Structure 1
Amino acid sequence: MSEAGFRIWQFLPLGVPHDDFSPYQCLSAFAMHPGLLPQDAGQRAINQEQLQLWRHEQAHWVEDYALFMALRWEHNTDPWFSWPDQFRSRDRDALTAFAENNRDSMDAIIEQQFVAHRYWLEIREAAAERDIMLFGDMPIFVAHDSADVWSNPHQFMLDDYGLPTFVAGVPPDYFSAEGQRWGNPQYNWEAMHRDGFRFWIERLHHHFELFDLVRLDHFRGLEAVWTIPAENETAIDGYWEKTPGDELLAKLQQEMGCIPLIAEDLGIITAEVTALRKKYELPGMAVLQFGFDAFDDNPHKLHNIHRDTAVYTGTHDNDTIRGWYDSLDEQTRGHVLQAIGADSGEQVVDRMIDAALGSNGNLSIVPLQDLLGLGNEARMNLPGTTEGNWQWRFTWEQLADIDCGDLKQRIQKTGRLGE
């Protein structure tokens, strides 16, 4: 990355996923996936004094996470809302007794998280030495089957049995004719307001321990969320419900100052959402693949992209450039070639990357699949589906095929080198 002139390295969420592998449906909003650790991680000596200090600093989440995971293993990884009542409802005596009998397992879970955190800080330090900033991603919602919901049920819209009464999603859009029913429980915003949005403040503090800047996923949910009654199987019959995002962002600014957040403002974006983003001077996003329709005011068209924008060739929810172009009809392909100054389909990937680099946006992000020129087989996620996603992996041999010198020259031509 350094040789090619890149200065920002963006990541998907790093959490512990469920069986569908989605990084946006994790078992904790704080824990890091142990699978990210090197194979020899368990062989490194651990400074017990540092471990205990870290454990104390992270006590607001790591103790409950360890207890949650130990209980989950005890119950064959069944979701917490199907556990026996004394554990589901967090009976204090039952939890104390279980923790006493499973202290070794819980200590091992906490130790594993400590090691993961320390390894990540080493990565961040190595990146900083090369003038590379780490760019994290914070999902707006948390998974129902998570340590966060189990340990803070009053912060979410749940019934007496721990089941959601209302869940999150989005209405029908570009990606899905039925919309998307994500299934995450909606927040109990009244409860969050009463405790000063503590959960949000703790999450962002945690993310900025790991990253230099953070993308706030589904930013439009801080103005209004698509609320779906839990009994509905699709998102079609949901409705927009206002949220206290203005108060939340003001509180975050008061507690943390002007933190470097990027607002993921894709999808159905109203004037109110844009006004909220601009009030707190948060950059938005543009995706070049969305910029080739017949509407001249499309914010994803190159001539409409403003400075306060992170520009992507595509995100994890898009196909790769190659896969996207191959899926277009002949007329649209011709329009794309003309718009980006390409003579043939063979040039599309490079010209799209150059268009992103040469855009007005303050940041330009190119997925690794596009740098490698890969097709649909390397798509990361197809929204609205649950099978075959989040499985693409690169190989070190593939990275050797990237011409770092050529990329650096192209970045330099756009004036981004060293920004």
Structure 2
Amino acid sequence: MNIRASGVLLHITSLPSRFGVGDMGPQARHFADLLADAGQLYWQILPLGPTSPALGNSPYAGFTAFAGNPLLISLEDLVTDGLLSISDIGADPPARPDRVDYEAELARKSRLLGKAYANAASSLETHDAFQAFCREHAEWLDDWTLFVSLKEHYNGLPWHVWAVPHRDRHDDAIATWREEAAERIQGEAFAQFLFFQQWNRLRDYCRARCLRFIGDLPIYVSQDSADVWTHPHLFKLGANKRPTVVAGVPPDYFSATGQRWGNPVYDWPANKAEGYGWWTRRVAHNLTLYDAVRIDHFRGFAAYWEISAHEETAIHGTWVDGPGAELFELLSRRISSLPIIAEDLGVITADVRELKNSFNLPGMKILQFAFGDEKPKHIPYLHDTNCIVYTGTHDNNTARGWFESEASLDERESFATYLGHWPESEDIHRIFMRMAMQSVANTVIIPMQDILGLDSACRMNKPSTLSKNWEWRLTRDAAVPETLKELAEMTRFFDRAPLLVGHDTGELPKG
């Protein structure tokens, strides 16, 4: 990310579509065209793993660090591929095209993916692409399909309360279950095949338009996940397989009581004893999906906030050393390129900065943080080239919402002083966009809500809350070239539209 360029943050679920959730189909390709025509180089998204209403539909609280979210599979593309018919998918428009309806779409996709599998099942034993996919991804796919089938068998209960032979993965019990649930296991493998087939098509489509994906890798995984079930010794769990300590952050900008995420924390010595194999596989897997990866909560590799599992908030925790440079040195040796963005927000100490700088990883600058206590880090005139500037992230309010309802009077006055005048609310997003584009930073990413100038009602997530998050969607009438016209103009004026080689190659210029 060493050329001057810009991009847009919009998760796949937030795309328009014929249904109640965005997907990897026609509207994703249309959005890619809009970005390319507006001179954007990057499309940043959130994690692609399976989500659940039981976990607040958060893409940061999935059941696996490897599998894809079946909700994102395009039904229209399954019709094109001959796996479903037009009559199968129906044509009823979503009740709220500006909001995701997770529960309704989960039921719809489960039913129709089951039908697609039934239509294909008789040919899968001789389906070369499917068989190759299963072999290539066996290291995580076999455990994931087992996990899904057993979770359904136990009516959705978390794995640590399953019968002990299944909870503890006794060889004979697992072998018996593979035989008993063979059809369901293969059905889930087929759903994953469809997901990765569609994702690879979308990525190829974007690459042909010189558009690059920035993905997101949460540092932690959920307790109720295939990863912890399969590798419990890599986490700090008790005899009952439940966490003894959990992850979070101390009191911060987002919460006076901190954030108690509840994820199990890593037993780093145990990970080290295995040569950090699980982490190597995880990072390598993500780098096959994206062109660059943002690691969420990067500071946890230097030191992380550990909270007793009995604590109800994150106030009473302690800092514990992470693996530090050792892990990244190993990753650098095993993976030829590490295009990683370090999410270095919150309590950042000298050891975190040293770890980031040692591997020349770009950090993040958030303009909403530039006019309060964190001004020195985020104010534009102190930016450096090796960073990513955001007006806000998925966890922030929209730029307009920040100014109207969240910024203190001192922050608004500081903002006005920086501008030289008191701004109008309807201009805040435009001012933030221009401020980001003017930065010396190589890379600028603008959330779609800020391009549209939307208010607080359209924010993606409010940390430390459990409902009404991850639901915002871009509507079809906003997914038009006119919407990105001002962004395109700023991109050209501030020299962020790199000279790209023709769309037929998807290559970028050297240097």
TM bin, normalised by shorter chain, reads: over 0.9
Residues 160-239 of structure 1: matches in 2 within 5 Å?
160-239=239-318
Question: After alignment, is 268-277 or 52-61 more displaced?
Answer: 52-61
Residue 43 of structure 2 is matched in structure 1 by 9
Residue 437 of structure 2 is matched in structure 1 by 357
Letter in 1 for 2:210: D
Question: Deviation digits for residues 75-129 of structure 1, max 9, x if unmatched?
Answer: 1111111111111111111111111011111101011101110111111111111
The CA distance in 2 between the partners of 1:220 and 1:63, in whole Å, is: 32
The CA distance in 2 between the partners of 1:53 and 1:79, in whole Å, is: 31
The CA distance in 2 between the partners of 1:236 and 1:360, in whole Å, is: 37
Runs of 4+ deviating beyond 6 Å: none
Residue 462 of structure 2 is matched in structure 1 by 382
Letter in 2 for 1:23: P
Letter in 2 for 1:142: V
TM-score (norm 1): 0.96
Residue 169 of structure 2 is matched in structure 1 by 90
Residue 385 of structure 2 is matched in structure 1 by 307
Cα pair 1:263 1:282 within 8 Å, conserved: yes
Match for 2:180 among 101, 107, 115? 101
Q: Which has the higher contact order (CA 8 A, sep 6+)?
A: 2
Residues 10-409 of structure 1: matches in 2 within 5 Å?
10-19=44-53, 20-43=56-79, 44=81, 48-293=127-372, 298-327=376-405, 328-330=407-409, 332-340=411-419, 343-400=423-480, 402-409=482-489
Question: After alignment, is 394-403 or 165-174 more displaced?
Answer: 394-403
How far the C-alpha of 1:141 sits from its partner, in A, is 0.4
* Residues 1:360 and 1:49: Cα distance change in structure 2 (over 3 Å): same
Identity of aligned residues (%): 39
The CA distance in 2 between the partners of 1:394 and 1:28, in whole Å, is: 27
Question: After alignment, is 391-400 or 12-21 more displaced?
Answer: 391-400
Letter in 2 for 1:227: E
Residue 415 of structure 1 is matched in structure 2 by 495
Letter in 1 for 2:393: T
Give the 3-state SS of the residue equivalent to 1:286 in structure 2: strand
Question: Deviation digits for residues 294-316 of structure 1, max 9, x if unmatched?
Answer: 676x2101111111110000001
Unaligned runs of 5+ in 2: 1-34, 83-119, 500-511
TM-score (norm 2): 0.79
Letter in 1 for 2:440: N
RMSD: 1.6
The CA distance in 2 between the partners of 1:25 and 1:195, in whole Å, is: 25
Cα pair 2:461 2:470 within 8 Å, conserved: yes
Residue 88 of structure 2 is matched in structure 1 by none
How far the C-alpha of 1:339 sits from its partner, in A, is 1.9
Unaligned runs of 5+ in 1: none
Query: What number of residue pairs does the alignment pair up?
Result: 418
Question: Deviation digits for residues 212-256 of structure 1, max 9, x if unmatched?
Answer: 000011000000010111111111111000011211000000001
Cα pair 1:337 1:345 within 8 Å, conserved: no
The CA distance in 2 between the partners of 1:359 and 1:206, in whole Å, is: 33
